[in-house]
Amino acid sequence: MSGAQPVVDFMRRSGWQFVARGRPIRFAGTNCYCQMIHRRTGHTGADDVLDAMAARGMNLLRTWAFQDCAERPGDCLLGAPAERLPAGKEPVDYVCEETLVALDRTIAAAAARGIYVVLTLVNNWDDFGGMNRWTLWRFGRGDHDAFFTDPTIRCWYKSLANLLVGRVNTVTGRAYRDEPAILTWQLANEARLARGGADGTAIDAWIAEMAEHIKGIDPNHMVSTGIEGFYGGSHADRNPDGWMGRCGTDFIDNHRHDAIDFATCHVWPQNWGWDPIGRPAAAMQKASRFVLCRIYDAQDALGKPLLLEEFGIPRDNAGRGPGGPTTIRDRFFAEAFLGPGEDSARNDGAFGGSAVWSIFDDATADWDDGNGIFLPQDASTDALLTAHARRMTQGSAPPVA
C-alpha cells in the first residue's frame, strides 16, 4: 500500500472512453470474489491481495456484493432460509449487518489503495446462492428463468439495490451512492437463460428495467451488465460456437440501453470446451476472435467502452495452487487477451481494461478453481500482468484530486 493514493473521483464515460475529470483512464486488475466473505469470517489474506494489486499498478477489483446462501456458516449477506418466504417477507428482510460491514471494509480498503470496485449484485450460477435461490424463496422450488420475469422477484431485486445504494459505509461515513471508489453497479454475473433458446427478450427487458431503476436512485455511478458477451438473434453468426446464440443474451442489444454505460465480456476457453491445453492453436484462434470481435463492436456498434472482466486458463498440468507450469496460460494472456486490448488502447479504441480471474494469496489457496494466480510465485504470469497494468494505466488520469 506504500505510496498509494485514495480514490476520490467518480468515473464517467465519454463515448467509448472512461474519464475522470475529463481525462481518459483505463483499468487493469483482478476478480477477487471472496473479499467480503473473508472479511466477514476473519479469514486472512483479503488485504494481501489488495496490497499485491497496488504494488503492481492495478486499479480495478471486481467482487461480489451478494452471498445468498451460506457456503460456510455465518457468511451470508441475505440469510433467508432455503424455502419459500412467508407472505410479506422479502430477501432483504434477512440481511446480515455484519456481512454488510465486511462489504464496507472491502470498499474502503480498495479506495485507500487507489483501486476502483465493480460490485456485482447477483449470480446466474448456484455458487453463493444465485438466481435459483431467489426463485426458491419465491416459489418454494428453483425456477431459474423466472428470476427475470416474475414481478415479485423483480421488486425484491430492486429492494436489494435500494438497500445498497442508500447504505452508509461504516468506515468512510458516506452513502454508497456517494462512494467514488465504486466504479459500477453490475446487474448480474453471467446472466443466461437456463432453458436456452434464441429469444432474448426476457433478459434484455430485465436489463433495461434494472439499469434504469439503479440510475434513478444513483446518478453518480455507472451501471453494467456482467454478461459474457455472446451474440443472439440476428447477430448470432458472430459467435465462435453455435450454442452461444441460445443463451438468451446479445452483446449488442443488451448494451445499447442508455442506462448501460459500458460493455462487458468474459472468455473461458477451457470451460467452453475449446481445450486450450490439448489444442492450443485452435483454442487461441477462437479466443482471439472472441475478444477482437467484441472490441470492434463496442466501438463501432455501441460507441461504449469494453471491460474484459473475466478470463482464465488452467495451468499446463491442470493443477491447483501455486507452483504448476503456466507456459500455455501466459501465451493466451499475451496473445489473445491482453495484447489485443493494449493494441486497442494504444489507438484510443474502446478497450477500457481487464480483470483477470483470479488473484489469490497463500491463505486463500484452497479457494483456487484451477485458474488461480499467485503473486509473486507465478513469476512469469506476474510479469505479464504487471507490465499490462503499467501500460494500461500509464498516462491515464490519476484517481486522485
User: Alpha-carbon dihedral of residues 67, 69, 74, 75, nearest 10 degrees?
Assistant: -20
Known active-site residue 98: no
Residue 199: CB partners within 8 Å, gap ≥ 6?
248
Give the closest residue to 55 by CA, choosing from 119, 115, 116.
115
Q: What is the DSSP string of 39-89?
A: HHHT-TTHHHHHHHHHHTT--EEEEES---S-SSTT--SB---SSPPPTT-
Which residue in the list 190, 228, 309, 342 is annotated as catalytic? 190
Q: How far apart are CA 1 and CA 152, in angstroms?
A: 44
Decide: 57 and 50 in contact? Cβ < 8 Å.
no
Dmax over Cα atoms in the chain, in whole Å? Answer: 56
Which residue in the list 228, 309, 310, 342 is annotated as catalytic? 310
Decide: 361 and 66 in contact? Cβ < 8 Å.
no
User: How many CA atoms lie within 13 Å of 95's alpha carbon, on the beta-carbon side?
Assistant: 18
Decide: 310 and 31 in contact? Cβ < 8 Å.
yes
Known active-site residue 310: yes
User: Alpha-carbon dihedral of residues 312, 13, 116, 355, nearest 10 degrees?
Assistant: 10
Decide: 287 and 269 in contact? Cβ < 8 Å.
yes
Q: Is 261 helix (H, G, I), strand (E, B) or coil?
A: coil
Burial bucket for residue 191 (CB in 10 Å: 0-12, 13-18, 19+): buried
Q: Which residue shows C-alpha cell 467480503? A: 36
Q: Which residues are catalytic?
A: 190, 310
